[in-house]
Amino acid sequence: MKRDLTWFRRRHGSASLWTFFIAAILISFSILIYTGMTVQSKYQLAITEIERAAHVALDANLINPMVRDIQLVVPITDVKTSFEANLRNAGFLLSGDGTWLRQMDDRVVYSIHSCSMIQNGDQYVLTATLQIPMPWGPLAPVNLPIRTTVQI
């Protein structure tokens, strides 16, 4: 039983077809890597800015920031108020639905949804959802959870 292998032994060749196929695969992989690196860099930027705002908010509400042993618990309402003020100072905008938007050149770089801060003893736990739009448009954003802890 012989198989028809004419497509394999063709004399005209299909090098151009294989070239286009391999080029399409390489372009797809490069777009995938570019998108992943863009999302990862925006995620690291967001985490850094949020943690910085939370640490500054906690330090601003200590009785004496030089001596941290005097006060182990800071009222959560004061920390939340300072945290929101620090986000505004960092360039975030608060939208009507409670979403914090980070914009550069009139484009949303990322947004923070359902941001909440709870107090657990001397620790303050900040949880939120980070929404990062894809480089090719805001139609398919990536939602990533954020959880950071700030302690005196």
What pLDDT, in 10s, does the model give residues 70-82? 666 778 888 889 9
What's the burial of 107, exposed, middle or buried (CB within 10 Å: 0-12/13-18/19+)?
Answer: exposed
The pTM for the full model equals: 0.75
Question: Nearest to residue 42, comparing CAs of 148, 131, 120?
Answer: 131
Structure tokens at 65: 């920031």
* Cβ atoms 57, 79 nearer than 8 A: yes
What's the burial of 85, exposed, middle or buried (CB within 10 Å: 0-12/13-18/19+)?
Answer: middle
Contacts of 39 (CB under 8 A, 6+ apart): 132, 134, 142
Of the chain, the percentage scoring pLDDT greater than 70 comes to 84
* Cβ atoms 142, 136 nearer than 8 A: no
pLDDT of residue 136: 77
Per residue in 44-59, pLDDT tens?
A: 999 999 999 998 888 8
The residues facing 111 across adjacent strands are 101, 131
